[in-house]
Chains A and B, each alone.
Chain A
Amino acid sequence: MSTERVAAAIRDSVAASRPLRISGRGMWLDAGRPVRADATLSLKDDSGVVSYVPGDLTLTVRAGTPLAEIADVTSERDQWLPLDPYGSPDGSIGATLATASAGPLASSFGLARDLVLGVEFVNGSGETIRGGGKVVKNVAGFDLSRLLTGSWGTLGVITEATLRLYARPAVDRTFVIDLGGPEKHVTSIVRAIVTSPLAPYALLLLSASAARSIGVGESPACLIRFGGNEAVVRAQVGALSQLSRPEELETKIWLAVRQLDGNSHSTIRISSLPQRVVAHAARMLHEDIPFIRTSIDPRRGILRIAVDSDGEVDQRELRADLRVTEENGGGASEVIFEKLPPEVWAQVSPSVVADGLSRGIRTAYDPHNVLNPGILGD
């Protein structure tokens, strides 16, 4: 698979009026929103490093490259792409960018949009387009890289991306704090950490069911990751020990965290003002509903809920979904449905690209409506 083959496939689909479902490696991120497509265009075979100059801390890869391969290639040079979306590391960078996926590292290193320097994509007319470039700072032309990131394949199929890398820290340590105490106590610990000068790489609060699913105990917990030189990590671990009783974990716990969604039938992300999240964190963490795994990134203001199902989605589970959503998704929050059962999408989530500008851009970039039609509720 090459860019030219992607372009040819899209032109064919236009000629035959057969819309395409765009797929990265098809490993993860089964968003579940129904797509009206006759065929799948997979980027699975379009994989590999195009260029990597460690001294520039930039990497250009084909879109089908698995995140795990990027991690391997860069770690040989003590570097990394600090982007840790939920799902299998075998998922592709193209899908990660197209869905604007991110994980716990985002509160320190930014979201997908903050780490992408340039993209090559093929639009819905089969034209190859490049936005951005290969350097770390660039304002030449309108920002097509940001536009494509998070567009779910509806404006173009990303075929190549240039990414900003960071050096791996000399020291990278992770700790867990038990948050099983009274709510008041938990709130004060969380507030103390968030308002302290501590600058962890990642800070994630887990409900008991979430903690249980990744094997860090039976009660709500706080995972905290420090990186940097020896001195800065030591100082932070010292400061944290003044606030609580941290226990060290192996860093690979974060790979387990990425599997938090498990086989959820619904995953809902709520973005809210950070202090609002901090204020409600203890209550949300202590509500231990076995089939709901809650995780909270208090600095990023993100509450994420994965709801399980053993088969048919029952009404009780759905009501729980919606209640959590309503309680926390009032006017001051954004509710983002990452995954829902197909039949539920239309009820709870109307089109997210219904505004005039979004519709205009969609029409300009995919005039024949062949790229993932329906995936954004359009």
Chain B
Amino acid sequence: MVAERLAEIVGPAHVLSRQSELLVYNSDGLPGYRRQPRLAVFPGTRDEAIAVVRFLAAERLPFVPRGAGTGLSGGALADDIVVVGLHRLKKIISLDVENRRATVEPGVVNLRLNKHVAPHGLLYAPDPSSEAACTIGGNVAENAGGPHCLKYGVTLNHVLAMTVVLPSGEIVELGSKVGERDGYDLRGAFIGSEGCFGLALEITVKLTPKPQAVRTLLADFTSVDKAAHVTSAIIASGIVPAALEFMDGATIRVVEDSIYAAGYPRDAEAILLIELDGLEAGVVADQETVRRICLDGGARQVRVARDDAERMKLWQGRKKAFGAMGRLAPHLIVQDAVIPRTKLPEILATIHAVSEKYSVMVCNVFHAGDGNLHPNIAYSADDPAESERVHKAMVEIMQACIAAGGSITGEHGVGLDKLGYMESIFSETSLNAMCELRGVFDPERRSNPGKVVPVHACKEWHGIPGSAKSRGAREASPLEAEPSRPIAR
């Protein structure tokens, strides 16, 4: 019934209800988590999207918004409920070159927006590694980052306004297309709400002028520790690189073995990819300072990309590193903890010790300048013993990051993956305040149920049928998702 009604709105070609067709939507970029949706609907216009949300509201059906499915937190998984896919909403609605802003639909892919604005000397700064596939709507939901967020800031700093359809079907305007406004920062609250507050249907973003000069440096080291100390030294120097990325020896060799080979030195134990940009004169001076810090810190060599082609190649290796991990094993688990940048050497040593303890191969490729780690382990989820070791190692790494004063996620979001850690960093009252905020945007908690905040942490949710408490309370363990409310038949 539901499928037929949705098909009336979007056309039968854009509703999937056969289990075999829905397999594609049973995971996101973290294949270790799988949840089979009941059905999936793909509106092709803004009006269709609104009609879909209003139909789901009238039927009181829970749903999960989904962009390109490149997320890395299990956040876009729908456990026997409806997926609302937004990738067909891909119009670039307007471009205002003079005022450096663009208004887009949520399904616009980052790279496409960048290609569209590049001829005008502009760019959209947030650059997740999945930029060739991920969508602006997904970026908004996750408050996505990327290597260049070190200097330019994350999605939060680049979105001016949004037209949002709330889960109730009501349309609201958040933020201001003009610039600043008074009242509560609802736009700030919505960005990074991981699909729990509704769907952004129109997003106005700030565009950034292309820098006059760019230099990309590759510094290579014979030890992880040296590279970590150099990272801290660059940050402490006050220079804000456009990007400061770290790759360890294991990652370098996987990338070099893959089709994304970038010419990294295979015998290095760590490399730093450092990008400086801005006015030519300033960049030249900073380049010299950074080169000096690297060499003083024990770099074997500091190479500067000679041209754009070499620069792109160096970046391609970095951005496709997760993809290259596919050579090692069928599944990949990636963490996203952020630590104070002075703690980098200490935590990298801990990660190394943990990987030995559990006999797993941890590859480190991450945004060192922000202290945003991405330790990842390639493994086979079909091997229970290996999975167990991998999970234990990841929990121990996360605990070390939390103990160092860090956060559990810097850009990938909580989703299902980090739900079990929320109580390690937030008090009961803080989690409840988050539940209350969600309750204002989505009083029935139908939009992406069971994500971000553990259901049992929400005071007044305990009575909701299907919630953890009502079925006998149990602690959610990391890596085990809270069950979502099943679709009404």
Q: Which of A232, A357, A364 lies in contact with B281, CB distance below 8 A?
A: A232
A129-B433, A135-B405, A137-B149 known; A357-B186 Cβ under 8 A: yes
Q: Which one of A134, A142, A300, A337 has the greatest number of beta carbons of chain B within 10 Å?
A: A142
Q: Assess whether B429 is in contact with A129, with CB atoms less than 8 Å apart.
A: yes
- Does B372 lie at the interface of the complex (its beta carbon under 8 Å from any beta carbon of A)? yes
Q: Assess whether B412 is in contact with A137, with CB atoms less than 8 Å apart.
A: no
Query: Quick one: closest B residue to A123, CB to CB?
Result: B433
Enumerate chain A residues within 8 angstroms of B232, measured Cβ to Cβ.
55
- Does B340 lie at the interface of the complex (its beta carbon under 8 Å from any beta carbon of A)? yes
Enumerate chain B residues within 8 angstroms of A140, measured Cβ to Cβ.
407-409, 414, 418, 422, 425-426
A113-B188, A235-B280 known; A144-B437 Cβ under 8 A: yes
A139-B192, A141-B431, A357-B172 known; A110-B281 Cβ under 8 A: no
Q: Assess whether B430 is in contact with A197, with CB atoms less than 8 Å apart.
A: no
- Cβ of B444 to closest chain A Cβ, rounded Å: 13
Enumerate chain B residues within 8 angstroms of A235, measured Cβ to Cβ.
279-282
- Does B413 lie at the interface of the complex (its beta carbon under 8 Å from any beta carbon of A)? yes
Q: Assess whether A361 is in contact with B342, with CB atoms less than 8 Å apart.
A: no
Enumerate chain A residues within 8 angstroms of B279, measured Cβ to Cβ.
197, 199, 232, 235-236
Q: Assess whether A232 is in contact with B282, with CB atoms less than 8 Å apart.
A: yes
Q: Assess whether A138 is in contact with B238, with CB atoms less than 8 Å apart.
A: no
The distance in angstroms between the C-alpha atoms of A21 and B410, with both chains bound, is 36
Q: Which of B96, B172, B340, B440 lies in contact with A361, CB distance below 8 A?
A: B440
- Does A253 lie at the interface of the complex (its beta carbon under 8 Å from any beta carbon of B)? no
A129-167, CB < 8 A from B: 129-131, 133-144, 146-147, 149-151, 155, 166-167
A78-B238, A229-B282 known; A127-B433 Cβ under 8 A: yes
Interface 1/0 per residue, B417-461 and A, CB below 8 Å:
010001001110111111011111100000000001100000000
Enumerate chain A residues within 8 angstroms of B57, measured Cβ to Cβ.
none
Q: Assess whether A111 is in contact with B180, with CB atoms less than 8 Å apart.
A: yes
The distance in angstroms between the C-alpha atoms of A53 and B339, with both chains bound, is 13
The distance in angstroms between the C-alpha atoms of A364 and B279, with both chains bound, is 48
Q: Assess whether A135 is in contact with B339, with CB atoms less than 8 Å apart.
A: yes
Q: Assess whether B340 is in contact with A147, with CB atoms less than 8 Å apart.
A: no
Enumerate chain B residues within 8 angstroms of A236, measured Cβ to Cβ.
279
Q: Which of A135, A136, A232 lies in contact with B285, CB distance below 8 A?
A: A232
Q: Assess whether A302 is in contact with B179, with CB atoms less than 8 Å apart.
A: yes
- Cβ of A126 to closest chain B Cβ, rounded Å: 10
The distance in angstroms between the C-alpha atoms of A275 and B339, with both chains bound, is 40
- Does A376 lie at the interface of the complex (its beta carbon under 8 Å from any beta carbon of B)? yes
Enumerate chain B residues within 8 angstroms of A197, measured Cβ to Cβ.
209, 212, 279
The distance in angstroms between the C-alpha atoms of A230 and B279, with both chains bound, is 12
- Cβ of B214 to closest chain A Cβ, rounded Å: 13
The distance in angstroms between the C-alpha atoms of A142 and B412, with both chains bound, is 13
The distance in angstroms between the C-alpha atoms of A273 and B99, with both chains bound, is 6
Q: Assess whether B179 is in contact with A272, with CB atoms less than 8 Å apart.
A: yes
The distance in angstroms between the C-alpha atoms of A276 and B201, with both chains bound, is 27
- Cβ of A132 to closest chain B Cβ, rounded Å: 8
- Does B19 lie at the interface of the complex (its beta carbon under 8 Å from any beta carbon of A)? no
The size bracket of the interface on B is 35 or more
Q: Assess whether A360 is in contact with B235, with CB atoms less than 8 Å apart.
A: no
Q: Assess whether A127 is in contact with B429, with CB atoms less than 8 Å apart.
A: yes
- Cβ of A353 to closest chain B Cβ, rounded Å: 5
Q: Assess whether B433 is in contact with A365, with CB atoms less than 8 Å apart.
A: yes
Stretch of A63-71, A177-185, A244-252, A328-336 on the interface side: A328-336
Query: Quick one: closest A residue to B142, CB to CB?
Result: A139
Q: Which of B181, B338, B436 lies in contact with A271, CB distance below 8 A?
A: B181
The distance in angstroms between the C-alpha atoms of A79 and B191, with both chains bound, is 29
The distance in angstroms between the C-alpha atoms of A295 and B276, with both chains bound, is 33
- Cβ of A273 to closest chain B Cβ, rounded Å: 5
- Cβ of A276 to closest chain B Cβ, rounded Å: 8
- Cβ of A307 to closest chain B Cβ, rounded Å: 18
- Does A15 lie at the interface of the complex (its beta carbon under 8 Å from any beta carbon of B)? no
Q: Assess whether B235 is in contact with A352, with CB atoms less than 8 Å apart.
A: no
Q: Assess whether A229 is in contact with B340, with CB atoms less than 8 Å apart.
A: no
Q: Assess whether A231 is in contact with B425, with CB atoms less than 8 Å apart.
A: no
- Does B176 lie at the interface of the complex (its beta carbon under 8 Å from any beta carbon of A)? yes
A131-B430, A137-B372, A365-B433 known; A353-B238 Cβ under 8 A: no
B321-354, CB < 8 A from A: 338-342
- Does B245 lie at the interface of the complex (its beta carbon under 8 Å from any beta carbon of A)? no
- Does B295 lie at the interface of the complex (its beta carbon under 8 Å from any beta carbon of A)? no
- Cβ of A33 to closest chain B Cβ, rounded Å: 11
Q: Assess whether B182 is in contact with A336, with CB atoms less than 8 Å apart.
A: yes
Enumerate chain B residues within 8 angstroms of A274, measured Cβ to Cβ.
98-100, 179
Enumerate chain A residues within 8 angstroms of B193, measured Cβ to Cβ.
142-143
Q: Assess whether A133 is in contact with B407, with CB atoms less than 8 Å apart.
A: yes
The distance in angstroms between the C-alpha atoms of A337 and B434, with both chains bound, is 30
The distance in angstroms between the C-alpha atoms of A141 and B280, with both chains bound, is 40
The distance in angstroms between the C-alpha atoms of A129 and B430, with both chains bound, is 5
- Cβ of A83 to closest chain B Cβ, rounded Å: 15
- Does A228 lie at the interface of the complex (its beta carbon under 8 Å from any beta carbon of B)? yes
- Does A114 lie at the interface of the complex (its beta carbon under 8 Å from any beta carbon of B)? yes
- Cβ of A329 to closest chain B Cβ, rounded Å: 10
The distance in angstroms between the C-alpha atoms of A42 and B84, with both chains bound, is 48
- Does B278 lie at the interface of the complex (its beta carbon under 8 Å from any beta carbon of A)? yes
Q: Assess whether B186 is in contact with A358, with CB atoms less than 8 Å apart.
A: yes
Enumerate chain A residues within 8 angstroms of B249, measured Cβ to Cβ.
none
Q: Assess whether A147 is in contact with B338, with CB atoms less than 8 Å apart.
A: no
Enumerate chain B residues within 8 angstroms of A376, measured Cβ to Cβ.
182-183
- Does A12 lie at the interface of the complex (its beta carbon under 8 Å from any beta carbon of B)? no
Query: Quick one: closest A residue to B436, CB to CB?
Result: A364
- Does A355 lie at the interface of the complex (its beta carbon under 8 Å from any beta carbon of B)? yes
- Does B304 lie at the interface of the complex (its beta carbon under 8 Å from any beta carbon of A)? no
- Given A141-B452, A150-B184, A302-B179, 6 additional A-B pairs, CB 8 A: A56-B340, A56-B341, A78-B238, A199-B278, A300-B180, A357-B441
Q: Can you sample 26 A-B contacts with CB below 8 Å?
A: A110-B157, A114-B156, A133-B407, A133-B425, A137-B338, A138-B410, A139-B407, A140-B408, A140-B414, A142-B189, A144-B437, A146-B188, A147-B188, A150-B185, A151-B185, A166-B240, A228-B282, A229-B285, A230-B285, A272-B178, A274-B98, A334-B178, A337-B182, A353-B183, A357-B440, A376-B183
